[in-house]
Amino acid sequence: MADAVVVGSGPNGLAAAVILARAGLEVEVYEAADRIGGGCRTGEVTLPGFKHDLCAGAHPMAVASPFFRAFDLAAHGVELLTPQVSYAHPLDGGRAALAWRDLEHTVDGLGRDGRAWQRLFGPLVRRWEDLVDLIMSDMRHPPVEPVGVLLGARMAELSTPLWNARFREDLAPALLTGVAAHAIRPPRSAPGAGVSLLLGTLAHAGGWPVPRGGSQVIVDALAEDLTRHGGRIITGHRVDDLGEFGSAAAVLLDTAPAELQRVAGERLSGGYAYALDKFRYGGAACKVDFALSGPVPWQARGCERAGTLHLAGSRAEIVAAEKAVAAGRHAERPYVLAIQPGVVDSTRAPAGKHTFYTYAHVPNGSTDDLTETITAQVERFAPGFRDLVLATNVRTAATMPAHNANYIGGDISAGAMTLRQTLFRPAPRWNPYRTPLPGVYLCSAATPPGPGVHAMNGLHAAHHALRREFGIRTHPLDLLRA
Ligand SMILES: Cc1cc2nc3c(=O)[nH]c(=O)nc-3n(C[C@H](O)[C@H](O)[C@H](O)COP(=O)(O)OP(=O)(O)OC[C@H]3O[C@@H](n4cnc5c(N)ncnc54)[C@H](O)[C@@H]3O)c2cc1C
């Protein structure tokens, strides 16, 4: 039996495995699906030759994360292609707010609110590495650095009725709220503010790239590094009982807390089991992928240069839509997130054709197929879109767990991003990665710093396991740089 076992081959599971293997341990990864990658897979789900990202599609966090900066994706053959416009937010009437990678260019396009955008993001963009180190930490230290104070002040502002005080027009508030909604929480909330400030800052720092060939190349690079360091990956093996790994000194679970409970069974009890029972799964996504015969005919200029688009209308409309989802209802015109990788990556579809990635926010467990609703929301900002559709593929929130057990009820964050669950994931403990079971750790997005392809949950969990179970004190970032 291996020294260390990892259950799940998402970016966090593979990141943990890479660190453990680079520390000289014998590592095995068990993956339930037939293919590695979890929420970072790419597949031809519409027509042959059309490569769709099945979950994660845009990668501001992969480009910024301390794990990936040390691992060096480029050195592993991953090419991150960065659109000029990180994200766009079209409004009715053919207008759009554009978050260019260049902050000054963005400011110029936001009319009377340009300077306010500059004052909001400028200081954070200048300190983006400190900001990332803080937000992607294991959340066990108070944010005392200057960037922590700055972030705290901004979050306090954006999560209270003051959130509109900076702005006088409608473009900038819509642009900001569209990013806040990534949290699938009411946008005027501390988690919404945190998400908008992190992703909004990265838009003007490293940008929001897409990998050439699809997100799969990121996890493939991790897997290749793992096997090069002696690790083994076993696919098509869903772990049902922790007893399978009796003699491994460490077991790291890249799973949702509910899966930890399932595989641990009676072994988990007391306060920790109670806390996992109380762990909440949140708003969900209905994912629809389109194969298109041409590029999306956006009405507003600049949208054709954007990698990501938030199709959701005004700030008030987004707030109402997210409120409905939080209350367990479908919004009539839901928040739709779209990615058009073809803007920078011509390898995703046959010549002249395009893939188009969308998901809409829906209540947890929704069985509704939102293909028509999403098509209408795109058509609203891009008349003629419907005529380009060659084929579609839908994954409802209810069917999401069959694809990946971590997305309970279609919750793509592996646990609602409430303030409590952002700070204390999955339970209020000094060390959120350790479970009460000897040698058993959680390393998934259900731990700090939460969801996204940044691999930092895996790094932090592996760091603790290395020190505690194996007495290895080399920092994971040094192992990655070696
Ligand atoms: C629709 C969607 C869109 C997203 N968009 C983005 C985006 O654009 N950018 C971004 O950064 N992030 C995005 N995310 C989030 C991102 O994909 C996840 O946060 C990230 O993949 C989490 O990584 P992970 O390793 O924690 O878990 P996952 O990637 O979910 O991997 C967990 C793995 O564990 C396996 N597993 C679970 N239980 C068992 C078991 N018992 N036995 C064996 N294997 C098991 C699963 O099969 C899965 O492969 C998106 C997610 C979804 C679903």
Where residue 139 falls among pLDDT bands split at 50, 70, 90? confident
Pocket test for ligand 1, best of 406, 444, 456 (most atoms within 8 A of CB): 406
Is 350:49 a contact under the CB 8 Å cutoff? yes
User: What is the pTM assigned to this prediction?
Assistant: 0.97
Residue 202 alpha carbon to ligand 1 centre in Å: 21
Where residue 142 falls among pLDDT bands split at 50, 70, 90? confident
Query: Which tokens is 153 given?
Result: 């002040």
| Mean pLDDT (whole number) for 249-258 | 98
**Closest ligand 1 atom to Cα of 451:** 19
Task: List the residue whose alpha carbon is closest to atom 5 of ligand 1.
Answer: 56
First to last CA, the chain: 27
Alpha carbons within 13 angstroms on the beta-carbon side of residue 118 total: 13
Can you count the helices (H) and strands (E) in the chain? Answer: 18, 16
Q: Is 67 in the pocket of ligand 1 (CB under 6 A)?
A: no
Query: Which tokens is 114 given?
Result: 């340009």
| Mean pLDDT (whole number) for 100-110 | 98
Where residue 269 falls among pLDDT bands split at 50, 70, 90? confident
Average pLDDT, the chain: 96
Q: What is the pLDDT of residues 145-191, one digit of tens each?
A: 789 999 999 999 999 999 989 999 999 999 999 999 999 999 899 99
Residue 396 alpha carbon to ligand 1 centre in Å: 16
Q: Is 12 in the pocket of ligand 1 (CB under 6 A)?
A: yes
| Mean pLDDT (whole number) for 75-98 | 98
- Inform me whether the pLDDT recorded for 34 exceeds 90: yes
- The helix (H) or strand (E) run that includes residue 95 is strand 95-100
Question: Could you please report the per-residue DSSP string of 4-33?
Answer: EEEE--SHHHHHHHHHHHHTT--EEEE-SS
Q: What are phi and psi of 92, to 5 degrees?
A: -60, 150
Q: What is the pLDDT of residues 279-337, one digit of tens each?
A: 999 999 999 999 999 999 999 999 999 999 999 999 999 999 999 999 999 999 999 99
What does the angle CA 145 – CA 148 – CA 151 come to, to the nearest 5 degrees?
Answer: 155
- Inform me whether the pLDDT recorded for 454 exceeds 80: yes
Task: List the residue whose alpha carbon is closest to atom 34 of ligand 1.
Answer: 8
Where residue 68 falls among pLDDT bands split at 50, 70, 90? very high
Q: What are phi and psi of 232, to 5 degrees?
A: -125, 140
Angstrom distance (rounded) from CA 321 to CA 408: 21
Is 181:318 a contact under the CB 8 Å cutoff? yes
Angstrom distance (rounded) from CA 87 to CA 65: 19
Task: List the residue whose alpha carbon is closest to atom 52 of ligand 1.
Answer: 55
Angstrom distance (rounded) from CA 17 to CA 260: 18
Whole-number pLDDT of residue 239: 98
**Closest ligand 1 atom to Cα of 14:** 25
Q: What percentage of the chain has pLDDT greater than the value 90?
A: 96
Q: Are strands 306-311 and 336-339 parallel, antiparallel or unpaired?
A: antiparallel
Residue 10 alpha carbon to ligand 1 centre in Å: 5
Whole-number pLDDT of residue 378: 98
C-alpha separations of 96 from 85, 309, 414 in Å = 12, 10, 32
Q: Are strands 354-362 and 440-442 parallel, antiparallel or unpaired?
A: unpaired
Q: Is 7 in the pocket of ligand 1 (CB under 6 A)?
A: yes
* 96 DSSP assignment: E
Give the ranges where 159-292 is alpha helix by DSSP (H).
Answer: 171-180, 190-203, 216-228, 257-264, 270-278
- Inform me whether the pLDDT recorded for 406 exceeds 90: yes
Residue 139 alpha carbon to ligand 1 centre in Å: 21
Residue 1 alpha carbon to ligand 1 centre in Å: 26
